[in-house]
Structure 1
């Protein structure tokens, strides 16, 4: 089942990963370039809207966008209603693939400062239109000034200041009681803008190869689940003009990618300890090489390779030409479901980490020497949900990368009970809230995800226990599926 089909049951969700196609509620007004302002105004009035799309009448390709303010301006200048509407249209309107996730449109609209985005089919033909009324974008909770500061940044110092302001505001929202899922969506949208603007600033300093390329993000950033203590997980995909030029193109991109990694580190996104960064040659690959890497994991699922590589399966495009990345995702969604050995290896890996619950459901702390009597809620909490959701999503060919969205899409595809899925998602978000709160209490990166059960009051211990019981039930289902 496709992601669109899987999400069709809940098109009203505010999820960041619902396909845009599901949000295009009605057919927009479409007019030819030669249409008069009078005729266009009449059609907009009949439709009850405030915007029309100007498209080529033969090919159906969108040419521009015309809104009521532009038409009124045209009337004032020309003194009549019979001029061509093309004279006032906004040329080269913002377009995006109809099957792209809502998050991508939200970020693009915030960055460009536009109110509408056109949705297109793979062949470029118009599908529809979505606006800010359809998208609950990051322009909420005091984000307007933050977006302005990010977009206006002209150097790394300004970019760093903007990133710090975003984290401070996110902390305020958490303390005020904002739910974890919308907070992650809000923070991810602004972090994406920070990353995009940082790449733009660095890109201006380099003469990059004239080939399609895209900056990709993995792990928590790819899942749009970044917390306050997060490091970089990114890569670069490029499409060389010929296979024999792959290494030449890679070497041309690497200095630029390393500079971006350093700039992001300066902005508060720590370098990845495992080296999963675009400035590493192993993460700066051609589209063919990326596909080959995923194919190798699917065909020969070596345990250690999978352990190091699972976060790559959370990839999504951030900056550049997203079409090659979308093609890679489409290939993976179609190819992965048939590889049973791969899924058994993923299940074994996921089940290797058990919920920290002992006899009688008591919370069981880690045996960590530096931080005794604590639980790592990233490794032994959130990961229990993300690993299972990733496996099921790949098995069902689901495009979504976020844990909650994956669980929803898989539940729809497999007709699982809605109440059980809702409980799993609620448990995951509760674990995430514990992590957020802990990260605001310490500057020690080694303790950022560690919670001491003894420091929790009775109610919070009970809540954490129930969340981990949900993880145990989720793992039991995974164990039964694979006979483990």
Structure 2
């Protein structure tokens, strides 16, 4: 028998993200488990500081207000209407609610069991990203009420300007796309498509703005058949336009967009309609100015045309990172978000570098990141580790082909340096001919490191075997991965030498359980959290996944999760290693943000007793995993 209620719920959910990215049968499964709640005006679904429910919610009808504070001293943070999700802490943090949810009018709400939905978060990347973005937005947004009850996300309240950053000038886009009265709608639609813009400004002979057409106008007036596509632009343009001077502040821009219910402001020379058009400011530009929405940042990265401007995006990423740490969002989610933004930045630098080349690439190639970037664990800006692999060519064409890609690599590494990724002191970058080679030469290099291992080869393989595809032909990294596992299976001694390297890392604690610090050099009397703690956990996870032929898993946390599945008897150890690594990476990131460096070298006298104890608890799994390596690979015979 059909479940008609579940089918009606399914029909509603499929209209909204993230449910629109699920399959029909998946959505029906979820819908059959949902509770339908009727909530009277003023009734609470949950209150601030109460334990989070086993369900999260989506509004079917009505409006649910999210409030911070208690009783008569409540501040409205956001309003959720049809299709909006709230109460997501059960999926992200599983801690007490930080806000109250109260019905602002009679409402119908669907309660979705977390246990039913959680499998889809792990399996569907789009679902994961949407939920994280929604959760972060609710955590930081303020609500601004207008006559129409509209909401501007990721912005400040216009009632009171509490943040001085709202008084700063906002960047606008220069050289807006324009047209004249004589153009047809078909002409301007093609122009907007070619220029990849969402609006076009109609100007007169003096370049003064007299009207605007946006994507929304084309949908509402042309796609509906209201006007013919051959009509002139003056028939559908919105006029007059709203104009401001180039000194418009963030707060002024927000107020203007809300007040006039528009998405674009025209920037003119003196701020009036009677002067020359010099720029355009959109609601998207306003969101970017706050820099606390990952999807907005990634979208903005794709629009930037100069590497210098990408530096601003990476600076915004640090603000985003800091806010996520303050909200105690799980480490795995933070790593995923920051890594996605870092990848977008690198890809954009590569695209811009390719445009600077005089000719297209002579053959297919792949740009890889290595080390912490390859493991998708680089939260702070550190030095670059990258490489290029290109398609095999005849011997006579090899030198010219390599020179082409080295020239490209120089542009890429320079662009990344401009963003803030420092040059690698050891020159482990694609601009080095040793790390810019054909696929066959890379395979030979990997085999040599494994079949005839040396101290240098063991060190390099520990960096290069954590490679990650970023741009180009992905199949090349698949071939290299096969070469790595083929070499491992032919050389038991190689894994043993990697294990020795993990055991020889300097100990974090001395005989009397005191922290061991650097004895000399630039970082004298500091604790090296990377070498003395994190690298052992990283190395062990890599060695054991190579031992088990686990392919396609480079991230340390994911490696330990996979190892726990493969070796149930050691699952407790692997889980403790994973927990320790999560604590260490967050600790290092906080230290780096605090001191504006990589966070690697820590001045112990700046730590509280609580922080020192937290660090020391992470060292127990390090000793245990070292012992496992020592026994499994019989390392006493190799040391």
Change (3 A) 1:370 1:338: same
Q: Specify which structure has the bigger relative contact order, considering alpha-carbon pairs within 8 angstroms and separated by 6 or more residues.
A: 1
What SS does the corresponding residue of 1:133 show, helix, strand or coil? helix
What SS does the corresponding residue of 1:225 show, helix, strand or coil? coil
Partner of 1:443: 596
Give the Cα–Cα distance (whole angstroms) in 2 for the partners of residues 220 and 350 of structure 1: 16
Partner of 1:281: 433
Deviation of 1:273 after TM superposition, in Å, equals 0.8
Partner of 2:352: 201
1:379-403: per-residue Cα shift (whole Å, max 9, x none)? 1111011111111111111121111
Give the Cα–Cα distance (whole angstroms) in 1 for the partners of residues 402 and 324 of structure 2: 41
Deviation of 1:341 after TM superposition, in Å, equals 1.1
Change (3 A) 1:413 1:198: same
Is 2:303 aligned against 1:155? no
* 2:374 paired residue among 186, 198, 222: 222
Change (3 A) 1:424 1:444: closer
* 2:391 paired residue among 228, 239, 245: 239
What SS does the corresponding residue of 1:314 show, helix, strand or coil? coil
Contact 2:339–2:379 (CA under 8 A) maintained in structure 1: no
Give the Cα–Cα distance (whole angstroms) in 2 for the partners of residues 143 and 27 of structure 1: 22
Contact 2:451–2:490 (CA under 8 A) maintained in structure 1: no
Mapping for residues 7-406 of structure 1, pairs under 5 Å: 132-133=126-127, 139=133, 141=136, 142-206=293-357, 207-399=359-551, 400-406=553-559
Give the Cα–Cα distance (whole angstroms) in 2 for the partners of residues 288 and 455 of structure 1: 50
Give the Cα–Cα distance (whole angstroms) in 2 for the partners of residues 46 and 146 of structure 1: 31
Give the Cα–Cα distance (whole angstroms) in 2 for the partners of residues 297 and 452 of structure 1: 37
Partner of 1:473: 624
What SS does the corresponding residue of 1:318 show, helix, strand or coil? strand
Is 2:407 aligned against 1:413? no
Deviation of 1:202 after TM superposition, in Å, equals 1.0
Largest Rg, 1 or 2: 2
Deviation of 1:167 after TM superposition, in Å, equals 2.0
Give the Cα–Cα distance (whole angstroms) in 1 for the partners of residues 133 and 429 of structure 2: 29
Change (3 A) 1:135 1:326: farther
Partner of 1:124: none
Aligned residues: 363
Change (3 A) 1:345 1:46: closer
Partner of 1:112: none
Deviation of 1:148 after TM superposition, in Å, equals 1.9
Contact 1:156–1:198 (CA under 8 A) maintained in structure 2: yes
Contact 2:573–2:625 (CA under 8 A) maintained in structure 1: no
Change (3 A) 1:161 1:453: closer
Change (3 A) 1:477 1:213: same
Give the Cα–Cα distance (whole angstroms) in 1 for the partners of residues 404 and 322 of structure 2: 39
Change (3 A) 1:350 1:259: same
Which one is further off, 244-253 or 378-387? 244-253
What SS does the corresponding residue of 1:438 show, helix, strand or coil? helix
Contact 1:355–1:384 (CA under 8 A) maintained in structure 2: no
Change (3 A) 1:302 1:138: farther
Give the Cα–Cα distance (whole angstroms) in 2 for the partners of residues 288 and 137 of structure 1: 42
Give the Cα–Cα distance (whole angstroms) in 1 for the partners of residues 511 and 490 of structure 2: 39
Deviation of 1:143 after TM superposition, in Å, equals 1.1
1:330-376: per-residue Cα shift (whole Å, max 9, x none)? 33234313311111111111111133112243322221343333210
What SS does the corresponding residue of 2:356 show, helix, strand or coil? coil
Deviation of 1:455 after TM superposition, in Å, equals 2.8
Which one is further off, 183-192 or 159-168? 159-168
1:299-344: per-residue Cα shift (whole Å, max 9, x none)? 1110123223420000111001111111211332343133111111
Deviation of 1:139 after TM superposition, in Å, equals 4.8
Give the Cα–Cα distance (whole angstroms) in 2 for the partners of residues 231 and 212 of structure 1: 26
Q: Which runs of 5+ in 1 are unaligned?
A: 1-25, 29-43, 50-128
Give the Cα–Cα distance (whole angstroms) in 2 for the partners of residues 322 and 169 of structure 1: 30
Contact 2:366–2:389 (CA under 8 A) maintained in structure 1: yes
What SS does the corresponding residue of 1:251 show, helix, strand or coil? helix
